[in-house]
Amino acid sequence: MVHSRIKQWLFLLVLVVCCFGLLGSPLRGQSPNVIVIYTDDQGYGDAACLNPTAKFQTPNLDRLAREGMTFTDAHCSDTVCTPSRYGLLTGRYSWRTTLKRGVYGAEKECLIADDRMTLASLLGASGYRTAMVGKWHLGMDFPGDRSDRDWTQPVRDMPLDKGFDYFWGIPASMNYGVLAWFEGRYAAVPPTLYTQKKPNQIAISDYRIMPPYESQVSDLGTTSELGVVRGKLEIAADFVDSECLTRFTDKAIEWMRKQVPGVRSGTPFFLYLPYTSPHKPVIPIDQFRGKSQAGAYGDFMLETDWHVGRILDFLDQQQLAENTLVVFSSDNGPETTWKERTKRFEHHSNGIFREGKRSIYEGGHRVPMFVRWPAKIAAGSRCDDTVCQTDLLATLAEVVEQELPPNAGEDSTSFYPHLLGRQTGSRPPIIHHAANGRFAIRHGKWKLVMEGKQQKNKRELYDLTTDPSETHDVIAQYPEVEQRLVNRITKIVQDGRSSEGPAQSNDTPWWDDLVWINPN
């Protein structure tokens, strides 16, 4: 009798423990929620945990590093906004498209074709709810032209057409205009007024986008073939530049809160949150002004980090952190104001690396990157292998157990094994690309910078294990390495892909930045 009762009590105890375990981990076995936080012009040295001499603290970025994995050799796929965002979302290099140099304005045929797989369409097809909140900068089709808008008509060729269920944000960088708070295809207050950049007194070589705005203008200015406006900017009466980060974070949390019941019942979410900071205009809100030792830029990074913390706090409050994969990175290196910050404040936004935004050298494309997923990633882990933001598509495909078709993610190689702490073999080379069209190839410790159209731009070879700052060109010492890398980059360009799989087509034939390839 006693033994029977003991067995019954033990059975009940095990049952209770199992029930509590299930209640405590309602998402066990379910695909993770995914959040990609993407900053704008943040250099490698603008994360305190990566820069021991940083003149401001980033406690929430440091928290991601402490609770997840730090990638010390991570790269954006280009060195300016539009092409980097294309690469991140599609797993394909932007220079394979018609955009060979520079960036888009706000109004332009979207660089992402409707039939091109994106992070959002991949995850949407896997049962995710998907949202983008923030800065798009890949082109949109607005109703009418600049002289004759009809804002009662919907915006086309935009995030909702590229796999996202929800969009709230702005079309491009603030200096390109069409500034309004768009939700879906419409703005509650449409951009029917006009403005131009105003001086920003608190930051280095900077501007503001703030009232007063004009109701009529006699000359709208000109627009380049990339849609970049030189003249008056279209703007909504309620738009103020300094409100972007707060509004973006508020809307992101609002949308995630609506997804919580679905998550509890088995429907995960994907949130793409591209911030506008610390890109110009550098306009920290009052509570952060004067709080860093790196001027307004440092204050702006403090605010940016604080908003990242708000996202992490929401996950904690909703008990979602354990099974949410958070990726944090930046679209390129720091704006050229990094030089003056170095002089004034001894803060190195590019860390130990050479140059910054737009440059083919490491400071242009080596960026901070942290990935946290407590259910899978060991806290405080580190990856020193080379990865590219284009790799995210293949990585998430492996996470959700989906196979990429041959015409998707042509430049995407999964780093999922790295997240699990597994050793992997050598990955395919990564191609770097500068805003002026110049190329470089990275494979293992070697980086070969290709010659450019300007005669002064000669080939250069660097061993990044011993010379991460790219100060010693060793091309004369290693001709066999040079030739091997020239062969590899040529094949990668011509095959239309760098990842494993059948050759694909680039969107254009040979172009003149490929100076080392015979056009015939």
pLDDT band at 426 (very low <50, low <70, confident <90, very high): confident
Structural domain including 85 reads 30-191+238-419
The token duo for 37 is 């936080």
Residue 445 in domain: no
Residue 242 DSSP code: G
From its phi and psi, is residue 163 left (phi > 0), alpha (psi between -120 and 50) or beta? left
For residue 35, the model assigns a pLDDT of: 99
Is residue 463 included in any domain, yes or no? no
Confidence of residue 18 (pLDDT cuts 50, 70, 90): very low
CATH of residue 391's domain is 3.40.720.10
pLDDT, tens digit, for every residue of 274-329? 999 999 999 999 999 999 999 999 999 999 999 999 999 999 999 999 999 999 99
Q: Is residue 518 part of a domain?
A: no
Q: Are 278 and 308 in contact (CB under 8 A)?
A: no
Q: Is residue 253 domain-resident?
A: yes
Q: Checking phi first, is residue 48 left (phi over 0); if not, alpha (psi -120 to 50) or beta?
A: alpha
Domain count, the chain: 1
* 269 falls within a domain: yes
pTM > 0.75: yes or no: yes
Three-state SS for 25-40 is CCCCCCCCEEEEEEEE
Residue 163 domain-assigned? yes
pLDDT at 2 over 50: no
Q: For residue 138, which of 76, 84, 174, 77 has the smallest C-alpha distance?
A: 84
Give the pLDDT confidence of 24-77 residue by residue, as tens digits: 343 446 899 999 999 999 999 999 999 999 999 999 999 999 999 999 999 999
Question: Do 379 and 53 contact (CB within 8 A), yes or no?
Answer: no
The candidate with the shortest Cα–Cα distance to 424, out of 393, 392, 394, 383, is 383
Residue 85 placed within a domain: yes
Residue 350 has pLDDT above 80, yes or no: yes
Query: Quick check: is 137 in a domain?
Result: yes
Task: Please state, in angstroms and rounded to a whole number, the distance separating the CA atoms of residues 314 and 79.
Answer: 32
Cβ neighbours of 179 (radius 10 Å) = 27
The DSSP annotation for 249-267 comes to: HHHHHHHHHHHHHHHHTT-
Q: Are 75 and 367 in contact (CB under 8 A)?
A: yes
